[in-house]
Structure 1
């Protein structure tokens, strides 16, 4: 199973108002294991970055002036993700911006090429009523994000990969690469069989004799009131 962990950074919050992608970061997983293959690029959005987005990402307008436009990297990006399950946190946000960029170059919709899984929806199902931001999930699931001072697409994709694996731990994580891998349920079932079928150890003859002698002594001392013989 091939999966792509994806994160993006943008000039602002609303693609419908002309905001654009400024960074894309992707990490490839195969059978739930990182392969080492990544896709990462900064993008020239051909517009200014909102102050709020600049504060969150630390990316300045001047830094992006010599970076490629989305149209320049679209083919490479789509080839990297094609046919995979794409995993993103608050996926509607990332997919909305990608769809807007694809529309500008007449390349169709993102969901026509990939399946999309939203880890925010997974987290809300697993932890209802709690904060489920990426930082909150890192803290809850024991993922070290101490180095995350600013948002960055590739950095956040790495964190999200760890969060996703922790969120879905137990879903076939034993023997990832094997078609005959045992499931966690099978392991539990095997353990229960061991628990309900313990090994029986029978007392040796000398132990039985010692036990009988001990009961006789108790019986004599208690005037025949030994409970173990009643």
Structure 2
């Protein structure tokens, strides 16, 4: 079983060295590159004023966050959820840098950088010279990000998880290997090996199925199936 976390933070600014703090952390769990539905999300009191420029990005003011727990109070729950597994983030050094600064203030060890997976770098390798922001990647992969009117860590990790799966090859949940928790006992099926006299029964698609298939091909760019269907039938001799 391969477990990965997709993570995002929102902060009061760009640099923890100048006193900027984390005010939101969110992470979603993937197992075998499939979202499990488990997630971690926490708003945090940053213990300082949130500059207007940052408020315009994520919409959080200090007044909205004063009743939230401070980072040391949530650190253990966050670390328990993250475990020891790889952590994917878009521009991951930014998120790791802020979390490391918060962990240091809380008297805890930093995150192991060997766990860091930067989806921005993956995207730059896949699409060199093109815009590779989260919004740009959502548009490129046809992922609906219409609800992203402001940066929100929980929404962003849900979108980033979809982008990451596409960057890793577009693995679909229906094609995933079963996790250990839902592996069923093998089913033994008796097969009749006596084929003598058996009459072939070809499986022919209905007109409705053919129409659905053509509609699906219409959504693809230069589909191989369409080229094969258009090829002339081979002639005998």
**CA distance in 1: counterparts of 2:15 and 2:124, whole angstroms:** 23
Measured in 2, the distance between the counterparts of 1:10 and 1:202 equals 68
State the 1:76 CA deviation. 0.4
* Contact 2:33/2:171 (<8 A) preserved: no
Is residue 91 from structure 1 mapped to residue 95 from structure 2 by the alignment?
no
The structure that has the greater radius of gyration is: 1
Report whether the alignment pairs 1:18 with 2:19.
yes
User: How far is the alpha carbon of 1:202 from its aligned partner?
Assistant: 10
Residues 78-98 of structure 1 deviation map (CA, whole Å, 9 limit, x = unaligned): 000011111000000000000
In structure 1, distance between residues paired with 2:11 and 2:99: 10
Q: Which residue of 2 aligns with 1:158?
A: 158
Contact 2:25 2:42 in 1 (8 A): yes
Distance in structure 2 (CA, Å) of the matches to 1:86 and 1:141: 22
Task: Tell me: CA distance 1:172–1:157, structure 2 relative to 1, closer, same or farther (3 Å).
Answer: closer
TM-score of the superposed pair, with normalisation by structure 1? 0.74
CA distance in 1 between counterparts of 2:158 and 2:172 reads 21
Q: Is 1:46 aligned with 2:47?
A: yes
Shift of 1:171: 7.0
Report what 1:100 is aligned to.
Answer: 101
Describe how 1:9-158 pairs up with structure 2 within 5 A: 9-111=10-112, 115-158=115-158
In 1, Cα distance between equivalents of 2:178 and 2:83: 24
Distance 1:131 1:37, change over 3 A: same
1:151, distance to aligned residue in structure 2 (A): 0.4
Q: Which blocks of at least 5 consecutive residues in structure 1 are unaligned?
A: 180-194, 196-200, 209-230
TM-aligned CA distance change 1:157 to 1:202, over 3 Å: closer
- Output one character per residue of 1:9-40: Cα deviation in whole Å (capped at 9) or x when no partner: 00011111110000001101111111111100
The answer for unaligned runs of 5 or more in structure 2 is 180-227, 229-233
* RMSD after superposition: 2.3
Cα distance in 1, alignment partners of residues 173 and 147 from structure 2:
27
Deviation at 1:109, TM superposition (A): 1.1
| Offset, 1:176 | 2.4
Secondary structure at 2:124 match in 1: helix
The alignment of Structure 1 onto Structure 2 pairs a total of residues equal to: 183
Partner of 1:187: none
Question: In structure 2, what is the Cα distance between the partners aligned to 1:170 and 1:9?
Answer: 27
1:117 is paired with a residue whose SS is: strand
CA distance in 2, matches of 1:128, 1:162: 20
Task: Say if 2:13 and 2:20, in contact at 8 Å, map to a contact too.
Answer: yes
Q: CA deviation at 1:162?
A: 0.6
User: TM-score w.r.t. structure 2 length?
Assistant: 0.72
* Distance of aligned partners of 1:170 and 1:153 in 2 relative to their CA distance in 1, 3 Å threshold: closer
Alpha-carbon deviation of 1:141? 1.1
